[in-house]
């Protein structure tokens, strides 16, 4: 090989610094993702104690539950649901909300236990929903009780 061609032989080209910044950015996104998954899958009591996240979570739970109750009532008023299944669905959603909001396992409690505990304000609404669900001769208006359940969810503190 002649000496005049040696000047065209060079070492490997260095990589761009953008790859380094991309790797750093992706690492930070991955760490943020894991942190968000950890925080948002924490049990309710620990998450409620965090100042900003607890408030945001409780508002999100309220909004989601109120929307679900409103959708059930709209299906009931539209004739898609009978009174007993509508009352059961609203009761299930209200109990799930109470569990998410307070940590008390309201899904498995009797009305007397609910009335005696910290969920006492929800007991009359749940009693009316149970009456509408299991009593064929009930005079309970499912739409108005469901509206009361939605109002209870929205005003829960």
With vertex at residue 47, the alpha carbon angle to CA 53 and CA 94, rounded to the nearest 5 degrees, is 95
Residue range 28-71, pLDDT digits in tens: 999 999 998 887 776 655 666 667 777 787 888 899 999 999 99
Q: Given this model, what pLDDT does residue 79 score?
A: 93
pTM, full prediction? 0.71
**Rounded to whole angstroms, what are the CA distances from 31 to 25, 28, 39, 51?**
10, 5, 12, 22
**pLDDT score of 2 more than 80:** no
Domain coordinates in residue numbering, the chain? 3-40, 50-155
Q: Given this model, what pLDDT does residue 14 score?
A: 79
Write down how long the chain is.
157
Q: Given this model, what pLDDT does residue 144 score?
A: 94
| Residue 73 · residue 147 · CB < 8 Å | yes
Residues 6+ apart with CB under 8 A from 154: 62, 66
Which percentage of the chain shows pLDDT scores above 90? Answer: 62
């Amino acid at each position: 090989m002649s000496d005049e061609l040696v000047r065209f032989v060079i070492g490997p080209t260095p990589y761009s610094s953008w790859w380094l910044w991309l790797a750093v950015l992706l690492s930070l996104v991955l760490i943020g993702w894991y942190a968000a998954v950890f925080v948002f899958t924490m049990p309710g009591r620990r998450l409620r104690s965090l100042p900003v996240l607890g408030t945001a979570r409780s508002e999100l739970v309220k909004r989601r539950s109120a929307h679900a109750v409103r959708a059930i009532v709209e299906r009931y008023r539209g004739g898609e649901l009978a009174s007993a299944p509508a009352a059961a669905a609203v009761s299930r959603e209200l109990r799930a909300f109470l569990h998410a909001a307070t940590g008390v396992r309201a899904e498995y409690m009797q009305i007397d236990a609910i009335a005696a505990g910290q969920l006492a304000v929800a007991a009359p609404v749940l009693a009316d929903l149970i009456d509408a669900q299991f009593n064929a001769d009930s005079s309970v208006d499912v739409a108005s009780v469901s509206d009361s359940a939605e109002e209870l969810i929205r005003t829960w503190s």
